[in-house]
Amino acid sequence: MIKVQIPATSANIGSGFDSLGLAVSMYNYIEMEESDHIDIQSMDGIIIPTDQNNLVYQSAKYIYDLCGKPLHGMTIRQINNIPMARGLGSSSACIVGGIVGANYLLGSPLAQKDLVNIAATMEGHPDNSTPALLGGLVTAVLEKGKVHYVKQAIAHDLRFVAIVPDFELKTSFARAALPRDIAHGDAVFNLSRAALMSVSLYSGNYHNLKVACDDRLHQPYRLSLINGAHEVFDAAYQNGAYAIYISGAGSTLMAIVNSEKETFVPQMRAELDALGLTKWQVHDLSITNVGARVLEN
């Protein structure tokens, strides 16, 4: 039985729609080994598929099929710390965990670059799956089944505070809220800010982050799907956040804060309670520059 650790990911980072993502210090764990039948269990009470529809199993089987190795079954045990359908890469974690684990069990016939391409193709976009595999801040483009990416290791002088609502927001629903066409000026607006975001995070010019997070492609349309989001944005800035944005498709809101600002998390907890959002959770995270890995045999 092997154990795979997969980090949560936060995609888009405001302006970098479907292209920017980073890995944070919240982890799913998957234990897996070959078996003659399918035996899948959740170890934390989270409801998951326990048959061939399980995404971890499907991803592992894809690798076995690709490598020409029959897979009659698998024993899988999942610990799901990453909340589902909240914009923190839960589906990417399943895909990445399945392919990394399967590749290891087969003796690692596929290189990391192969896994990057496979995961992004399975997910449909590279902004979650690539940082889940590589860690750090990743700028990525998926073209004809190949991911073109740059990974940047980010200093640990930032904290990423995930403000997680008590409701799911399915990616398909969040995408349906987006317009089919955008104005040329809006495209230019986002291109300039996405470039500024990547460079500012890497260089430490954090005073740029509020401007760099501004967006006209998805956030204006999705904020209305998250009741209380506007008030939380205002509270985050009032309490000293560099920036705040919708993580992935939502519903999580991610604040970027100076790591020395230890009062931010309790302040936001108090703000949420005052807004009546008592069931929302606040997770104090950091960026992780290490992606998915096998921890033990």
Tell me the H-state helices in the chain.
55-66, 90-105, 112-123, 126-134, 171-176, 184-203, 209-213, 219-222, 229-238, 264-274
As its CATH architecture, domain 2-153 has 2-Layer Sandwich (3.30)
Q: Is residue 83 predicted with pLDDT exceeding 90?
A: yes
Question: Are 2 and 31 contacting, i.e. CB atoms less than 8 angstroms apart?
Answer: yes
- Write out pLDDT tens, residues 220-245: 999 989 999 999 999 999 999 999 99
Q: Which two tokens stand for residue 287?
A: 């960026």
Rounded to whole angstroms, the Cα distance separating 141 from 197 reads 16
DSSP-derived letter for residue 225 is: G
- How many helices (H) and strands (E) would you count in the chain? 10, 11
Contact 295, 3 (CB under 8 A): yes
- Rounded Cα distance between 11 and 1, Å, is 31
Using alpha carbons only, give the angle 150, 174, 41 rounded to the nearest 5 degrees: 80
Report whether 118 contacts 99 (CB < 8 A). yes
Q: Any idea which fold 158-285 has?
A: Alpha-Beta Plaits (3.30.70)
Spatial strand order in the sheet of 253-258: 243-246, 253-258, 158-164, 281-285
Residue 169 pLDDT: 84
For the chain, the domains span 2-153, 158-285
Angle at 283 between CA 120 and CA 127, to 5 degrees: 15
Q: How confident is the model at residue 297 (pLDDT cuts 50, 70, 90)?
A: low
164-199: pLDDT as tens digits = 999 988 888 888 888 889 999 999 999 999 999 999
The per-residue pLDDT for 155 is 85
CB 175 within 8 A of CB 218: no
pLDDT for residue 179: 87
> SS3 of 170, please?
coil
- Alpha carbon separation from 194 to 14, 19, 21, 212, 297 (Å, rounded): 8, 9, 11, 6, 40
Residue % of the chain over a pLDDT of 70: 99
Average pLDDT for the chain: 94
pTM of the model: 0.93
- Cα–Cα distance for residue pair 168/165, rounded to 1 Å: 8
